[in-house]
Amino acid sequence: MSPPRPNSEDFGARLSFDRGAPGRRAVDVPSWSGDETPLPDSHLLRDTLRLPEMSQGELVRYYTALSARNYGIDSGTYPLGSCTMKYNPKVNDLIASLPGFAEAHPQSPVEETQGTLRTLMELRRGLAEITGLPEISLAPAAGAQGELAGVLMITSALEDRGELEQRRRILVPDSAHGTNPATAAMAGFTVTHLPTAADGSLDRATVERELDETVAAVMVTVPNTLGLWERGIEEVAELIHEAGAYLYADGANLNAIMGRVRYGDLGFDVAHLNLHKSFSTPHGGGGPGAGPVCCTDELAPYLPTPVLEEGEDGLVRLVAPERSIGRLQQFHGNVGVLLRAYAYMRALGLDGLRAVSGQAVLNANYLRVLLHGHYDLPYDRPVLHEVVFSGSRQRREQGVRTYDIAKRLIDHGFHPPTVYFPLIVEEALMIEPTETEPPEAIEALAEALIAIAEEAEQDPDMLHRAPWTAPIGRLDETAAARRPVLRWQEDVD
Amino acid sequence: MSPPRPNSEDFGARLSFDRGAPGRRAVDVPSWSGDETPLPDSHLLRDTLRLPEMSQGELVRYYTALSARNYGIDSGTYPLGSCTMKYNPKVNDLIASLPGFAEAHPQSPVEETQGTLRTLMELRRGLAEITGLPEISLAPAAGAQGELAGVLMITSALEDRGELEQRRRILVPDSAHGTNPATAAMAGFTVTHLPTAADGSLDRATVERELDETVAAVMVTVPNTLGLWERGIEEVAELIHEAGAYLYADGANLNAIMGRVRYGDLGFDVAHLNLHKSFSTPHGGGGPGAGPVCCTDELAPYLPTPVLEEGEDGLVRLVAPERSIGRLQQFHGNVGVLLRAYAYMRALGLDGLRAVSGQAVLNANYLRVLLHGHYDLPYDRPVLHEVVFSGSRQRREQGVRTYDIAKRLIDHGFHPPTVYFPLIVEEALMIEPTETEPPEAIEALAEALIAIAEEAEQDPDMLHRAPWTAPIGRLDETAAARRPVLRWQEDVD
Amino acid sequence: MTSSSFAGSSPGGSPHPYIPATEADQARMLERVGVADLDALFADLPADLRDPAIDLPPALTEPELIALLTERAAANAAPSRPNFLGAGAYRRSIPAISSHLASRSEFVTAYTPYQPEISQGTLQSGFEFQSVVCELTGMDVANVGLYDVASATAEACLLAVRFTKRQALALLEPIHPGTADVVSTYARGAGLRVDSVTSADAVSDEHACLVVQQPDFLGTIADLEPLANVAHDNGALLVAVADPFALGLLKAPGDAGADIVTGEGRDLAGAPAFGGPSLGLFAAGLPYLRQMPGRIVGRTRELHAPEHGDGEPRTGYVLTLQTREQFIRRERATSNVSTAQALIALAFTVTMQALGPRGLRESAELCYQRAHDAARRIGVLPGYETPERGPWFQEFLVRGPVPAAELNARLAERGITAGLDVSARPEPEAREALLFAVTEATPDAHIDALLEALAAIGGES
Amino acid sequence: MTSSSFAGSSPGGSPHPYIPATEADQARMLERVGVADLDALFADLPADLRDPAIDLPPALTEPELIALLTERAAANAAPSRPNFLGAGAYRRSIPAISSHLASRSEFVTAYTPYQPEISQGTLQSGFEFQSVVCELTGMDVANVGLYDVASATAEACLLAVRFTKRQALALLEPIHPGTADVVSTYARGAGLRVDSVTSADAVSDEHACLVVQQPDFLGTIADLEPLANVAHDNGALLVAVADPFALGLLKAPGDAGADIVTGEGRDLAGAPAFGGPSLGLFAAGLPYLRQMPGRIVGRTRELHAPEHGDGEPRTGYVLTLQTREQFIRRERATSNVSTAQALIALAFTVTMQALGPRGLRESAELCYQRAHDAARRIGVLPGYETPERGPWFQEFLVRGPVPAAELNARLAERGITAGLDVSARPEPEAREALLFAVTEATPDAHIDALLEALAAIGGES
Ligand SMILES: Cc1ncc(COP(=O)(O)O)c(C=O)c1O
Ligand SMILES: Cc1ncc(COP(=O)(O)O)c(C=O)c1O
């Protein structure tokens, strides 16, 4: 017999604006005892402001309850393909919050910020070693901004070569992450999509056909978004260079190859990294991240401002490269994230980073074999850091979509994998365990997915209505987009 | 239709010892590169040790999951009578963790710890003002240790008066907290219980009858555990002193009267406080606390070591009172808790503390009137900080015990109140909202308790099996005590 | 270590505390996968390029790591050193609960909320953020945040360009040079012309927008209304780059006619952190919604009523209007932004909710009073003046008895980090001047120390 | 403030950020309760004693509070100052996750787990703690912790007295004076005789127990087995007061015959914190279970199988054997303890689980090696000796060219906090000696600074 659930409150219906009461507050402000300066003329001032009014205890409870309605890596396995949700070491948070680092003002003279600057310099040197690309700017705030930097650097280089007018195209594989084409467009280029061959690598023939004097660059993700090695990429690099174009590496998947092969050695001219993935910095529900852009000596003059430079006087400074594309942010990037990434690099060392890529790849392949046969595997070969299955059989035979499978996985206690990406795999289930998952967790995830495949046969409707045990049931995303409600409003509530 | 809950794992069955795997670890230890000193003879060493072996990520997930199976003040209303579960200001935790405070070594010379010592001195002065008892030792780690200190001080005073042999009895009201009689016994006294009169105060006649030259002290809780003012306590104090005995105040309920009346003015000779209740320091699931003992000038020489003293040189020192009962701990008490209590005192100031007691009392009375008629109220008069209802009607009429009501309250989203205490109220429901609960929360609590009273009539069995929505169902406490399993063991698991 | 004899643990442990799989685990998995060793998993990689020599410093254990970085942190100036730099980053009093709540690991270790049913914490607080930003700026809609104020302003310009189909931007000086620089960076890609103007009169029908900073780079409070009118008369949008803290006191740019408002939220989320993590605020009028960059949280309901409860579908939050975004729209997206600054936005929101309407107003007024009091005290020192360009909020210019650079150096000798040297700027008031910031969080002792030092320097010269 | 005009918030606000009820709320509640004002609620209090004059410092807002206490914290010696004090409190390397996990607010803001169904976090981690303590000490059972090592040792003596019905205690020197003092405090109440003995031979059939510290107060490692035998031959219990960190290396007292083991857990939970919050460990053999003080967590199952799942009742944890306790047994309880140190026990447990068997062993060996290396380097300095009383762990005696007090003072002048002055102790090795502690967490730089200073002082004299 199932009891009434007296406590199934509509939590989401009550925002902070609907809580508390007029006249409550969570902190007091010191009063001013000195001489009063008259305020500016009233037409410059606001005469009203609507903000929540809650006591401190109420506000703390509200966010504590919100946190309980969120799932993080610390809650369990979070196998989002391409997103590399690995364990975030707590010591890195502790380090970034040391007052000496946290209180540093971005405009302070170099003498007063050497602790930060030297640390960033060492991070930069480490990343250069790891990527084989000698010059780096740590400024980009995330992968997409690193991409923009890289493409704009290519723009400047072509301009200096007097070829910018003619080279207006950037080639992007159809398996690429959306930020690649979006970035190319933001930088004013037109995008040509390259098809993926049957083996999951670039279709060499098309590349050769497309390569001509109108091509500015080719953006390739290595390993690619199928979790596969881009076979022959080093030869493609030569072709591209012969055609006078540049080769860009989307390095978001560096974690698969750290310490084993380097973008520079493969012939890449420029690459961005996602330190908030490969280097374990917390993703915070959507940032902050850090997307350093790394390049060859040829492209170094174009790096975004600032870059780090160590002077004869032994001081590390932030300087502007002579032909810099300019700044990407008012200051120096997400330094707090970069400090965490440095701590991660130092905690692992080379052997550790090789152990990371090794175990990450082993975990993905272990999952691949455990699930083999239960879900379609369009590109059926050994993978690197992630494996992309397809729910097309379930869709065809039981009318169960990958969307349903993902939602049901929540009931089994897991965060779902990335779904419907890459676009070239229909009903894609893109799973990346990362090296920080123990084998037991990977086995449990496989069991859950296998159980769901069986549930799909027995009770498809139950899957259509999943999740059943989440803090809230399946949400109506269509309605949200059709009649957007995007902020609190008195009337609405 | 209710789906299988695939994730109803028996979480409690797997301890850290059963998780992870041999060879895993959550931290590395630096290796020693210097000269090796041979270890002591092997018969002094251990050759094996069983401890869990988990990776860092696994351990973090385990405790994060454990925390989700716990309910704190930050989770919701926690109206444990007598325990004063008020909001714990986060700024106090921040302050106590400032490295200058946290890293201080207890043996460091005074010159190196003035920051801590001066702060403790100011806390001591504030508590003296608030209690009207001029001399204080902050050493006791919790209320019960404060009680022990107080009773031992009385022991020493009687000894110096040459009356210790003759005064072997301590009088304790039958409504007292268990620590009172237990403490009296620990200090070697025999306990005489004083009945409570119909109005909830001490039965004056019995007190007068019992008072004689064999009485060492009377321990009274003010306000008492019924949440009521101890009427005429100031006259009782005189009787006690005339009889040559001492009057001890259990000050755990100070929060009800802060800034409104003082133990010293009422004629108490010695009192302990519970800073982890009245002064908002977090209770941590069972400590740490702080139970300062406060006394008159007469008893000051007997205070436990250390006490604070400010010298001519302006330095604050820890010293031993001349006739001190001795130390209660190796060092100086739960200093981290005392720092939080100081921050609380400074954040409130006198007006704030009066607002605290005022609102705490209003909240308890508000709850009293909201619930009036729905549950028996054995002592039906205005209360101070808490109100004690009785579930005896529900027990009599529906066979629903207070125990069941408490468990069902969990399903309604609240932590249950204190139950079956004080012992003089049968089926006691002892409810203390505290001043940090907003009126809406008190109303919701009342509604839930009223709803439960109705559920008791309609479906008593459902209450017998509550809670239904907690992380785990009602637990078998009898079995636990009958066949105790008190530690992890290979075989057991 | 000599604990080889010791039977506390088995050999063949995992390679690192962050990597659980032990040698035994690995062997088991390798066998199941059907390869001999880890290297075999990388067979696809070009043999001649594999396992290159890589020179990294040795690995450190956690205690060694903490020791090293504690040393590094101590190699920065002590936080207790008086520092009067502002110019885009300001020390604020942040309620202790902001960092406490923003460090709840369920928030910290979550990804972008692609699965709303288990991401309501991130989503609902994102919706709170959007609501707070709308209230502050007086705009209709806001996104959940961009990288920082400068990149947000650049995105605002790109929006204006898409909306007006015009190819030029007008930036009204004095504007933060970092902001202007980032706008130019983004503009180059789009092939836009960037005009730096000193008066709104320079705005023409070629301009997609007029960008105005509030308060401006030299601390002066702008009267946005006339500027908005000029912009609108020329068919251009007004983009206001506003300090959200100052907006506790100043008129909401939306009420003054702004079409888009950007701002920097970092300082209300926590410490300056050498400039980042930062937080770009982005709010706009309803007409611009479908052109907005970045993630937007929307409110919706459950598709099915829950089993238990009153049978009504419950309210929840989702990422919405995603057809604007790169992962769907790809090269036709409104922006390439993906990961932004969600956690900083959460801390920002808590600070705003903790202060509430009155607290924010009082805090902004306190900042205003303290800054003006400090300026007044400096202004009366012999040899010093504080040239004003109009009403100002928290930053002021100081011209001393010695050249700006020298004044800066002499204060540094005295252990004080002075204001920013703006003597190279064109504005006459900036000649030989330093730009000082004093806020509600600047300790009195630091101000006293500054005045003492300034007086001493004045005496010497 | 001059924001009276401002309509950001309504007047009649709540009295304090910690107290939600506003004036309006209060009025509504007072009316419902049927009294005119707050004062009326206190009508029972004696009129002539009500609302006394109380002199407290003015209230501070949060920013003011933080500023004041940051200043106070800075008035203590800087944490970076070399400090070689041990004598009961030792700097240890604590894994960052210990404080991270122990500060989860669900743990921090919970009360003693009286309602097990919503307190499994506290209870299960308490059970983990008991298990870890049993493994470390080699005992059968443990409680969830007492106030500190000294009061735990006093409770152990009282248990021995209840068990043996004897009225005298024997404390073997050298034992921490604080521990001895607390035992005497508790003994007075119970009217017990406390004998301080320098050899186990002094134990007689009058003694309820022999208390031995491991390592002893001067750092020396005791051989517990013979001591246990002597005690047992005289019908007394052996109470071992053991450093849980040293037990990573040393034989478990239980395996050496101890009947009760106490210890101090604070240093494995976090920083010294001027001595507290502390954590008293208490473990004993099964025969003493029903006589144990403090809370004990036991394992049990659900009374009813859950609705969902496999139909098996699930495992849970509860406070058990409570009939020993004050709130039930009252004056016949085994102790008066109620609130103890639960949160510190949780952090202690995480540290132990993070280190694991090998990590704890390695850490203890590292401590041993570093301490002995430092002692060796000091011992070879001209004018210095490090008298030994047997094998030792992390603390050693240093006798210098000048008297102990002077050596201490001279080191202090050089910015070094030296070891504890034990020159007044009876042991010959302690004559004119300081007791230094060096652990795995003592920075190399501090040790080098010490050696330099010692050499310099040696040179001068
Ligand atoms: C392959 C790939 N490229 C680029 C990106 C963009 O990185 P960011 O989200 O940091 O902008 C991502 C992640 O979103 C990605 O997975
Ligand atoms: C009235 C009363 N007296 C004494 C105590 C004992 O205090 P502590 O638990 O801090 O030892 C308590 C709380 O447990 C109490 O409520």
CB A412 within 8 A of CB A418: no
A window 198-227, beta carbon within 8 A of C: none
- Across the range A421-430, mean pLDDT stands at 96
The pLDDT tens digits for B215-237 are 999 999 999 999 999 999 999 99
Q: Ligand 2 centre and the CA of C10: distance in Å?
A: 46
The pLDDT tens digits for B255-277 are 999 999 999 999 999 999 999 99
- Across the range D85-99, mean pLDDT stands at 97
Report CB contact under 8 Å: B15, D338: no
CB-count burial class (<10 Å; 0-12, 13-18, 19+) for A355: buried
Lowest mean pLDDT among B7-21, B369-383, C206-220, D271-285: B7-21
**What pLDDT score was predicted for residue C306?**
79
**What pLDDT score was predicted for residue A284?**
98
* Contacts for B346 with CB less than 8 Å, ≥ 6 apart: D57, D59, D60, D65, D68
**What pLDDT score was predicted for residue C11?**
65
Place of tokens 């210890």: D263
Q: What is the best residue among B148, B179, B219 to mutate for testing ligand 2's pocket, by most ligand atoms within 8 Å of CB?
A: B179
**What pLDDT score was predicted for residue C327?**
82
The pLDDT tens digits for B389-425 are 999 999 999 999 999 999 999 999 999 999 999 999 9
Instruction: Report the amino acid identity of residue D258.
Output: A
> Measured between alpha carbons, how far is C106 from A75 in angstroms, rounded to an integer?
7
Chains touching chain C at 3 or more Cβ pairs under 8 angstroms? A, B, D
Pairing of strands D420-421, D433-437: antiparallel
Taking contacts as CB-CB distances below 8 angstroms, the residues of chain B near C17 are 25-28, 55-56
Distance from CA of C94 to the nearest CA of B (A): 11
The pLDDT tens digits for B322-339 are 999 999 999 999 999 999
Nearest to A55 among B58, B438, B451 (CB): B438
* pLDDT at residue D119 greater than cutoff 80: yes
Report CB contact under 8 Å: A31, D1: yes
Taking contacts as CB-CB distances below 8 angstroms, the residues of chain D near A48 are 6-8
- Which of B152, B172, B107 is CA-nearest to residue B293? B152
> Measured between alpha carbons, how far is C98 from C92 in angstroms, rounded to an integer?
12
- Which of B343, B398, B407, B355 is CA-nearest to residue B375? B398
> Measured between alpha carbons, how far is B140 from B273 in angstroms, rounded to an integer?
10
Percent of chain C with pLDDT over 90: 92
Q: Which ligand is in closest contact with the Cα of B421?
A: 2
Residue B313: CB atoms within 10 A of its CB come to 9
Q: Which ligand is in closest contact with the Cα of B274?
A: 2
Query: Per the omega criterion (within 30 degrees of 0), is the bond before C177 cis?
Result: no
Q: How confident is the model at residue B492 (pLDDT cuts 50, 70, 90)?
A: very low
> Measured between alpha carbons, how far is C150 from D247 in angstroms, rounded to an integer?
57
**What pLDDT score was predicted for residue B493?**
43
Q: How confident is the model at residue A154 (pLDDT cuts 50, 70, 90)?
A: very high
CB B384 within 8 A of CB B84: no
Report CB contact under 8 Å: D182, B2: no
Report CB contact under 8 Å: C95, D2: no
* pLDDT at residue B491 greater than cutoff 70: no
Is A144 near ligand 1, meaning CB less than 6 Å away?
Answer: yes
Q: How many helices (H) and strands (E) does chain B have?
A: 16, 12
The pLDDT tens digits for A165-185 are 999 999 999 999 999 999 999
> Measured between alpha carbons, how far is A221 from A194 in angstroms, rounded to an integer?
12
Three state DSSP letters for chain C: CCHHHCCCCCCCCCCECCECCCHHHHHHHHHHHCCCCHHHHHCCCCHHHCCCCCCCCCCCCHHHHHHHHHHHHHCECCCCCCECCCCCCCCCCCCHHHHHHHCCHHHHCCCCCCCHHHEHHHHHHHHHHHHHHHHHHCCCEECCCECCHHHHHHHHHHHHHHHHCCCEEEEECCCCHHHHHHHHHHHHHHCCEEEEECCHHHCCCCEEEEEEEECCCCCECCCHHHHHHHHHHCCCEEEEEECCCHHHCECCHHHHCCCEEEEECHHHCCCCHHHCCCCEEEEECHHHHHHCCCCCEEEEEECCCCCCCCCCCCEEEEECCHHHCHHHHHHHCCCCCCCCCHHHHHHHHHHHHHHHHHHHHHHHHHHHHHHHHHHHHHHCCCCCECCCCCCECCEEEEECCCCHHHHHHHHHHCCCECCEECCCCCCHHHCCEEEEECCCCCCHHHHHHHHHHHHHHHHHC
The DSSP code for A485 is: -
B window 52-91, beta carbon within 8 A of C: 53-58, 60, 64, 89-91
Q: Atom 10, ligand 1: which residue's CA is nearest?
A: A143
Report CB contact under 8 Å: B74, A56: no
Is C105 near ligand 1, meaning CB less than 6 Å away?
Answer: no
C2 — contact with chain B (CB < 8 Å)? yes
User: Element (H or E) spanning B432, and its range?
Assistant: none
**What pLDDT score was predicted for residue B70?**
98
Place of tokens 């409150």: A9
C5 — contact with chain B (CB < 8 Å)? yes
Q: How confident is the model at residue C3 (pLDDT cuts 50, 70, 90)?
A: very low
Q: What is the best residue among B84, B85, B177 to mutate for testing ligand 2's pocket, by most ligand atoms within 8 Å of CB?
A: B177
Which site among C361, C367, C439 would you substitute to test the D interface, given the most D Cβ atoms closer than 10 Å to its Cβ? C361
Q: Atom 9, ligand 1: which residue's CA is nearest?
A: C339
D37 — contact with chain B (CB < 8 Å)? no
Nearest to B350 among D29, D56, D337 (CB): D56
CA angle C127, C129, C135 (to 5 degrees): 105
**What pLDDT score was predicted for residue A240?**
97
> Measured between alpha carbons, how far is B324 from C6 in angstroms, rounded to an integer?
48
Taking contacts as CB-CB distances below 8 angstroms, the residues of chain C near D105 are 100
Instruction: Report the amino acid identity of residue B72.
Output: G
- The CA-to-CA distance between both ends of chain D, in Å, stands at 64
Taking contacts as CB-CB distances below 8 angstroms, the residues of chain B near D128 are 15-16, 488
- Across the range B273-290, mean pLDDT stands at 98
Q: How confident is the model at residue C219 (pLDDT cuts 50, 70, 90)?
A: very high
> Measured between alpha carbons, how far is B485 from B488 in angstroms, rounded to an integer?
8
Q: Ligand 2 centre and the CA of B178: distance in Å?
A: 8
- Across the range C52-56, mean pLDDT stands at 98
3-state DSSP call for residue D72?
Answer: helix
Phi-psi region of C51 (alpha: psi -120 to 50; beta: other; left: phi over 0): left
CB B344 within 8 A of CB B281: yes
Q: How confident is the model at residue C324 (pLDDT cuts 50, 70, 90)?
A: confident
> Measured between alpha carbons, how far is C217 from C208 in angstroms, rounded to an integer?
22
* pLDDT at residue D161 greater than cutoff 90: yes
CB C153 within 8 A of CB C183: yes
> Measured between alpha carbons, how far is D181 from D177 in angstroms, rounded to an integer?
6
The pLDDT tens digits for C382-419 are 999 999 999 999 999 999 999 999 999 999 999 999 99
Q: What is the best residue among D155, D328, D336, D339 to mutate for testing ligand 2's pocket, by most ligand atoms within 8 Å of CB?
A: D339
pTM of the model: 0.97
Nearest to D79 among B40, B99, B155 (CB): B99
- The CA-to-CA distance between both ends of chain A, in Å, stands at 35
Question: Measuring from each residue's beta carbon to the nearest atom of ligand 2, which residues come in under 6 Å?
Answer: B 82, 142-144, 177, 179, 221, 225, 250, 252, 274, 289, 291; D 338-339
Chains touching chain B at 3 or more Cβ pairs under 8 angstroms? A, C, D
Distance from CA of A271 to the nearest CA of C (A): 16
Residue B2: CB atoms within 10 A of its CB come to 11
**What pLDDT score was predicted for residue D4?**
43
Taking contacts as CB-CB distances below 8 angstroms, the residues of chain B near C2 are 36, 39
D1 — contact with chain A (CB < 8 Å)? yes
Report CB contact under 8 Å: A104, C274: yes
Q: How confident is the model at residue C76 (pLDDT cuts 50, 70, 90)?
A: very high
Residue length, chain B? 493
> Measured between alpha carbons, how far is C373 from C396 in angstroms, rounded to an integer?
11
* pLDDT at residue C2 greater than cutoff 60: no
Report CB contact under 8 Å: B335, D274: yes
Q: Which residues pair with C210 in a beta bridge?
A: C170, C238
Which site among D14, D80, D93 would you substitute to test the C interface, given the most C Cβ atoms closer than 10 Å to its Cβ? D93
**What pLDDT score was predicted for residue C308?**
66
> Measured between alpha carbons, how far is C315 from A315 in angstroms, rounded to an integer?
55
Distance from CA of B53 to the nearest CA of C (A): 8
Task: Give the gyration radius of chain A's Cα atoms.
Answer: 25
Q: Which atom of ligand 2 is nearest to the CA of B274?
A: 10
C101 — contact with chain D (CB < 8 Å)? no
**What pLDDT score was predicted for residue B1?**
32
Is A82 near ligand 1, meaning CB less than 6 Å away?
Answer: yes
The pLDDT tens digits for D443-461 are 999 999 999 999 999 998 7
Nearest to B56 among A87, A412, A469 (CB): A87
Q: What is the mean pLDDT of chain C?
A: 95
Which site among C69, C112, C250, C367 would you substitute to test the A interface, given the most A Cβ atoms closer than 10 Å to its Cβ? C69
* pLDDT at residue B57 greater than cutoff 90: yes
Q: What is the mean pLDDT of chain A?
A: 96
Taking contacts as CB-CB distances below 8 angstroms, the residues of chain A near D5 are 47
> Measured between alpha carbons, how far is C143 from C128 in angstroms, rounded to an integer?
11
C93 — contact with chain D (CB < 8 Å)? yes
Q: Which ligand is in closest contact with the Cα of A147?
A: 1
> Measured between alpha carbons, how far is A326 from C189 in angstroms, rounded to an integer?
12
More confident residue, D101 or C331: D101
CA angle B168, B172, B173 (to 5 degrees): 155
Nearest to C361 among A49, A52, A188 (CB): A49
Q: Which ligand is in closest contact with the Cα of B172?
A: 2
Chain B residue with Cα closest to D109: B72
> Measured between alpha carbons, how far is D211 from D242 in angstroms, rounded to an integer?
11
Report CB contact under 8 Å: B358, D38: yes
More confident residue, C9 or D108: D108
**What pLDDT score was predicted for residue D11?**
65
Q: How confident is the model at residue A89 (pLDDT cuts 50, 70, 90)?
A: very high
Listing DSSP states for A148-196 in one string gives HHHHHHHHHHHHHTT-TTT--EEEEETTS-THHHHHHHHTT-EEEEEPB
Distances (CA, A) of C35 to A366, A480, C26: 11, 48, 11
